[in-house]
Amino acid sequence: MKGKKKTYAQVAFLLALIVGTVLIVKQQRDMPYQKDEGFIFGTVYHVTYQYNKDLNNEILAELNKVDGEFSMFNKKSTVAAFNNGKKVEASDMFMNVLTLSQDVSKNTNGAFDITVAPLVNAWGFGFKHQKMPDQQQVDSLRKLVGMQNINVEKLSGKTYLSKKLKNMMLDFSAVAKGFGSDAVATVMRRHDIKNYMVEIGGEVVTSGLSEKRLPWKIGVTQPTDDSLNTNQQLQTVLNITDKAMATSGNYRNFYYKNGKKYAHEIDPKTGRPVQHSLLSSTVLANRCAEADAYATAFMVLGVEKSEAVLKRHPELMAYFIYVGKDGKNKVWYSSALQKKIEK
């Protein structure tokens, strides 16, 4: 009899556990999706997440931390202090992004370089605008490019950074938005949120499912000369979940001079705007900062050299739009991306 009572108690406990789990799952499924947006890094952010309260203040606080480290327009930021010639104490966040930038630069044979700022400015795409440089100026500015020109000191358990060359500068614009998206995703995970989508200026991190209980669908914009960012026609839609995605292109930040188009992607090796067929580079990775950096590097490398990098890094997926020999837009994408393309 005692054995039966014990068995009944075990069954009752298991039933209660199952019912409790079902109720928790249902409660989680019935939670509303919050939608927050705001302005950061000179662009707009959108965050959608399933939670029982609004977290926009916490999201904005996290983004302001990132802005306080990497914004070239924030006079009080760490990078602004560095660019003004000060020795700066580098936080864990700053070193995280610096180390990632060094890794991507190494993996792309220098195509990605956060010290290219003087050349970006010289060609009229930075925060300082001046006349188009001649070859002598370009050659002079190229000497400032290279992360070996960052002096790193370890003192009393802290890391300090300073310039080795007076006029060198750091520019994190090709990785900061992606890192910002990662930072917001960290806020989501801190609250154990499973379903969310973070987007900052086109750099995206997703997890779980959308309100429609489907994988998140993220569009890739069709590249047409659109400096005012009014064209929203899509080239394709990708089914993305538990991944980060970033896109770089030369079809929005550009200008024409003497009938020639100059796009904002600067090749650190030549010191000049890139001139090849690649129009748009979309990269999927586990971290948005990584996707952001590689998307920029691939715009510098072009299709063929980028394919070679992707073969060495199967953890990355890419979707390229380029101009074919017939003058028409063509598409190349990683084979692993095939199943993510919306039919």
- For 240-253, what is each residue's pLDDT tens digit? 889 999 999 865 54
Residue 238's pLDDT band, with cuts at 50, 70 and 90, is very high
Residue 96's pLDDT band, with cuts at 50, 70 and 90, is very high
**Using one digit for the tens of pLDDT, what is the confidence trace for 248-293?**
986 554 444 444 444 567 888 888 888 778 889 999 999 999 999 9
Tell me the residue type at 111: A
How much is the pLDDT for 185?
Answer: 98
Q: What predicted TM-score, i.e. pTM, was given to this entire model?
A: 0.85
Q: Report d(CA 24, CA 340) in Å as an integer.
A: 31
253 vs 42: which has the higher pLDDT: 42
Residue 113: left (phi > 0), alpha (psi -120 to 50), or beta? Answer: beta
Beta-strand (E) ranges in the chain? 33-40, 43-50, 88-90, 150-155, 158-163, 196-200, 203-207, 216-221, 234-240, 244-249, 254-257, 260-263, 278-285, 317-323, 329-333
Residue with tokens 């990662």: 182
How much is the pLDDT for 253?
Answer: 47
**Using one digit for the tens of pLDDT, what is the confidence trace for 169-179?**
999 999 999 99
Taking 60 as the threshold, does the pLDDT of residue 324 lie above it? yes
How much is the pLDDT for 210?
Answer: 95
